[in-house]
Structure formats: C-alpha cells, structure tokens
Amino acid sequence: MRTAIVGVVLLVLGAVALVTGVLPVPEALVLWDRVWPILLFVAAITVVTELAAEAGVFTALAQQTARWGRGRAWLLWLLVVVVAALSTIFLSLDTTAVLLTPVVIVMARHAGLNPLPFALTTVWMANTGSLLLPVSNLTNLLAQRTMGDPSPAAFAALMWAPALVAMVVPMVVVFIVARRFLLVRYETGEEDGIEDPVLFWLSAVVVVLLLPLLVSGLPVWIPTCAAAVILIVAFLVRRRGVVRFGLLPWQLLLLAGGLFLFIEALHSAGLGTLLARISGTGESPLALLRLSATGMVGANAIDNLPAYLALEPVADSPGRIAALLIGVNAGPLITPWASLATLLWHQRLTAFDVEIRWRRYILLGLIVAPVTVVLATLALSATL
C-alpha cells in the first residue's frame, strides 16, 4: 500500500506541475505516448506470470531443477543461477523477484538447505541479469525508445559483454560467501502433484511460445496482452476464483506513472542542467565510468527508475545509454529501495518467514555493486 501512496503523491505533484505550467502539456503528452506501451506490458506480463504460477508451472520447474541437482547443493545452486538469468532476461527482473523467490525458498527447504544463498542469488541476478534485452527491465524499454527502437538482437549486440560480466561477478561473490552452505549434499522429498493438468499444460505452452515473441521485434505489449487474455479466459472457465483485480500490479503502475510524470516535471524545472555537469560527456572509458557510477549512486539513493529518467537526457548516444543502464540496472545492490524488484523480493521473504539482515546485505552490496558496475562498464568500452 505504501507503494501506491507514493505513486499517488507523485502523480499529484506532477499534476500540480501541469496546472502551474512548470510542465508544458505538449511535453506531458509526448511522455504519455512513450510510456503507455511500457505500462501495458508490465501489467500483462504480471498477469501471465501470476496465472502460470497458479497453474503450477514454476513449482514444476523448481521440482525438476531439484532432480537435476542430483543431491549436490552447488549444482542445484548453479541451476538456480541459470533459471534466474533466463527468467530475468526474457520475463523481466520483477517476475524473477516475485515468482522465482518463493520457488527457490520452497525448493531449498524441501531439500533441507539454507534458503538464504538461493534467495540472495535470485535478487542479485534479477537486477544484474536485466541488461541483455529490452524486456528484461523497464529502464531498457525506455532506453530502446531513446535509441530509436533497435531490434532485440541489435540491443543485445550492444549489451552482451557488460551483461555477461554483470551476471558473473555477483554470482562468484555469492558462491564465495555461501560456500559452506553450497558444498553439501541433499535429498529431495515428495513432489507436489499438478492440480489441473489442462491449465498446467496450457500455461506452460503459452509461456514457452511467448518467449520467442518477446524478442521477435514486435512491440512487446502485443504478444504479452494476447498471452494474458488466453490465460484469463482459460482460468475463467476452469478456476474462476483465481481471476481477480489483485492480479494486476496496480500499485506498481501507480508508482511508475507517478515517477514518469514527476521526473519529467523536474527536468522542465532545470534538473537536466545540473545532472549534465555531474555526469560529464563523451565515450572514453573514464567518461562512461563516470556516467555509470552516477547512475549507480542515483539508483541506490532514489530508486533505479527515477535515476534513469533523470539521467537519460545526458546519455546522448547508444554507448552512453548503455553505460547508464549498467549503473541503474547492475548497480542497485546496496539499499533496499534501490529497485522495485528488491522491495518485492523482500516482501516474498517476509511472507515465507525468511529473515535477512539488511546491514549484511548493504555491506555486501557496497563491495559487489561498484566492482560489478566498473567491470561491466569496461567490458562495454572494450566492445564499442
């Protein structure tokens, strides 16, 4: 509910800026034309993943992963890394945080293992793994429009090197820190059955077919909305009680809409001039490092979405936009509010009675985030 309250406050402030003329109406209309497809995609992909989870698709994936682990915790962890990476790349970081987190917690407890290394893997991969494709992160979808709508393949061609580095570095740290929990053996318990085979297989097919469509070059909201409609109709026929307003991420949509409008108003009031001085210019390695570091600091200070929106005008080339994305996507590993995915992840931990010490999380992030951002930015610079 606090998320919704913050979103409403930001929307009110943006409305005041419109009424007083601080934010011109034509600029607000341009902003709306830019963001409505993104918000529609976020809503639709959330519905798809929630219904697929209700059908048991993700639980079945967790059980199969536990079997593939062959009783070795380190191998099970590596499989979680792969699943978290694929989920983030193709279904977005928020999907990984919301749906994969409870799956890995249940899986770890099912195997008698400490769930914290698996949970930390999920949230770090959700953030740092969100660089490769436009659909991986809301910031990427915004950046794609700024770049002139390159195809997913062209976007990945620019981002593959920093994306690879950003995924590998934090996972190495997780393994080093949690090695005594991962270098053990486990036994799998009894598996849960499929409640409704028809919904299960339909949901699985829809998700599998959706993945290539998300990278086909179509506007991502089109196949995602189609998938959402198919699953909604199927659940209305077979499990009507599951289809409810709560499936829509309305709090997230309020927050995102409020952030868009508020940051645009701040830019009209002169924020861009100040940030241009801080973030510098050019595409030399030092210039890109300066921009990505600014993005990382901004993300951990005020959340990665407003940090991206605030700095986007000074990222005036594909290389600089990529550097900014490294900062705001791979950098939010320090503060709990650095990304919405981290907040959603913590809500899931609380719901499953998994306790994490924020002091330890912040201290680890203070080490991992700067190293990840610097090395990923240098990888980007080497490939430009």
**Residue-wise pLDDT tens digits, 225-263:** 999 999 999 999 999 999 998 888 888 788 778 877 887
Instruction: Report yes or no on whether pTM surpasses 0.85.
Output: no
Separation of alpha carbons 355 and 360, rounded Å: 12
Report which of 92, 103, 55, 45 is spatially closest to residue 248, judged by C-alpha positions: 45
pLDDT at residue 213, as a whole number: 86
Task: For the chain, give percent helix, strand, coil, nearest 5.
Answer: 80, 0, 20
Which residues, in sequence order, are CB contacts of 366 under 8 Å at separation 6+?
334
pLDDT at residue 64, as a whole number: 81
Domain edges within the chain: 23-248+334-368
Which residues, in sequence order, are CB contacts of 79 under 8 Å at separation 6+?
65, 68, 69
Token pair of 316 as six digits: 């005036």
Intervals of the chain under pLDDT 70: 1, 189-192, 271-273, 276
pLDDT at residue 23, as a whole number: 83
pLDDT at residue 272, as a whole number: 64
The H or E element containing residue 12 is helix 2-20
pLDDT at residue 79, as a whole number: 92
The answer to whether 369 and 292 are in contact (CB under 8 A) is no
pLDDT at residue 327, as a whole number: 96
pLDDT at residue 138, as a whole number: 85
